[in-house]
Amino acid sequence: MKRVHENIAEQVNNTKGRHRGGIELLRSRLNLLSGTDKLLMTMYIKHGNSIRQIARIRGTSEASVNRRIRSITERLTDGPYIDCLRNRDKLTRRQLAVAKDYYLIGLSMRQIAAKRRRSYYRVREALIEIRSIISAPQRRTG
C-alpha cells in the first residue's frame, strides 16, 4: 500500500496561494482582449471550464486549446504590449493601437495597415519606434 502525504491539503493551499496573484492579474487584464481570445480566457479563468470542455466546445484538440491559453497568458502577463502600457506616456494613441494589434491580438503588419487605413510603411515605422521606446533603459528618478 502506498503512503499518502499527510500534508497534501497544505501543499495544495500553498500552490493555490502562489498562483492566485497571477490569476487575479489575468482577470484584471481580460478586458484588453477581444473576440475568441477573450471568450476562451473568460471560459477558462472566470467560469472555470476545463481545457477538455473548451476543446469539445471549439471542436479542436486539447493540446491546441492548452497552447492557445498559454500563449494568451504570456502576452497578458509579461509581453511587449504590457511594456507599451507601462510607457504609454511616451506613445501616441495610434502607436498604442498598433502595438495592441501587433503584440496582443497578433495581427500582421499588412492586416494592421488595412485595419487602421495606414500604409504598410507607416505601420512598420510605428513598430520600429515602439520597439525603441520599450527597449530603452528606464531612468529612475529619486
Do the domain assignments include residue 85?
yes
Give the model's pLDDT for residue 114: 96
Give the model's pLDDT for residue 34: 82
Furthest C-alpha separation in the chain: 69
Give the model's pLDDT for residue 17: 57
Give the model's pLDDT for residue 136: 79
For residues 70-83, average pLDDT? 86
One domain, residues 59 and 99: no
- Which CATH number fits the domain that encloses residue 68? 1.10.10
Q: How far apart are CA 138 and CA 133, in angstroms?
A: 10
Contact criterion met (CB below 8 Å) for 72 and 41: yes
Q: How far apart are CA 136 and CA 142, in angstroms?
A: 19
Give the model's pLDDT for residue 142: 47
Range of the domain at 30: 15-77
Do the domain assignments include residue 110?
yes
- With the CA atoms of 26, 29, 31 and 37 taken in that order, what torsion angle do they form, in degrees rounded to the nearest 10? -50
- Convert the pLDDT of each residue in 16-69 to its tens digit: 555 566 778 888 888 888 888 889 999 998 888 899 999 999 999 999 999 999
Give the model's pLDDT for residue 33: 85
For residues 100-106, average pLDDT? 89
Give the model's pLDDT for residue 62: 93
pLDDT at 139 over 70: no
- Convert the pLDDT of each residue in 105-134 to its tens digit: 889 999 999 999 999 999 999 999 999 998
One domain, residues 97 and 66: no
pTM more than 0.75: no
The two counts, helices (H) then strands (E), for the chain are: 8, 0
